Amino acid sequence: MSATMTPEFQAKDYKSDLKPIWCPGCGDYSVVQGIYRALAAIGRPPHEIAFISGIGCSSRIPGYTTAYGFNTVHGRALPIAQGIKLANPDLLVLAAGGDGDGFSIGGGHIAHLIRRNIDITYIVMDNQIYGLTKGQLSPTSQKGRVTCTSRYGSLEEPVNPLLYVLAYGAGFVAQASPTDLVGMASIIEEAIRYPGFAFVNIQSPCVTYGEEAQQIKGLKAISASLKDLGHDPSDRLAAMDPAQHYGQKMHLGVFYRNPEPPPTYDAMLRERQAELSKGAPSRDRILDLFIKK
Among 86, 207, 238, 269, binds ligand SF4 (CB under 6 A): 207
Taking residues 123 to 142 in sequence order and writing x for each that binds ligand SF4 by CB under 6 A, - otherwise, the string is ----x---xx----------
What is the closest distance, in whole angstroms, from the C-beta atom of residue 208 to ligand SF4 in the complex?
Answer: 4
What is the rounded distance in angstroms from the CA atom of residue 269 to the CA atom of residue 44? Answer: 23
Among 38, 39, 55, 57, binds ligand SF4 (CB under 6 A): 57
Of the CA atoms within 13 Å of residue 87, those in its CB half-sphere come to 7
- Which of 16, 33, 149, 208 lies at the binding interface for ligand SF4 (CB under 6 A)? 208
The smaller minimum CB distance to ligand SF4, of residues 127 and 160, is found at 127
Q: How many residues bind ligand SF4 (CB under 6 A)?
A: 12
By beta-carbon proximity to ligand SF4, the closer residue of 62 and 196 is 62
Tell me the C-alpha distance between 257 and 223, whole Å.
21
Sole binder of ligand SF4 in the list 9, 14, 26, 81 (CB under 6 A) = 26
Beta bridge partners of 93: 50, 120
- Among the listed residues 9, 28, 52, 162, the single contact to ligand SF4 using CB under 6 A: 28
Is position 120 an interface residue for ligand SF4 (rule: CB under 6 A)?
Answer: no
Q: Is 246 in the site for ligand SF4 (CB under 6 A)?
A: no
In the complex, what is the shortest distance from the CB of residue 201 to ligand SF4, in angstroms, rounded to a whole number?
15
Beta bridge partners of 51: 69, 94
Considering only 40, 137, 206, 252, the residue that binds ligand SF4 (CB under 6 A) is: 206
Helix (H) or strand (E) holding 200: strand 198-203
| Residue closer to ligand SF4, measured from CB, 198 or 200 | 200
22 binds ligand SF4 (CB under 6 A): yes
For 136-145, b/e burial (b = at least 16 CB within 10 A) is bbbbbbbeeb
Residues with Cβ within 8 Å of 119's Cβ and at least 6 positions away in sequence, in order, are: 85, 89, 93, 195, 196, 197, 264, 266, 267
Residue 101 DSSP one-character state: I
Nearest to 39 by CA among 189, 236, 177: 189
Query: Which residue type does 258 have?
Result: N
DSSP class of residue 97 equals E
Cross-strand pairs, 201: 124, 175
Q: Which stretch binds ligand SF4 (CB under 6 A): 18-26, 32-40, 232-240, 266-274?
A: 18-26
Which positions touch ligand SF4 (CB under 6 A)? Answer: 22-23, 26, 28, 57, 127, 131-132, 206-209
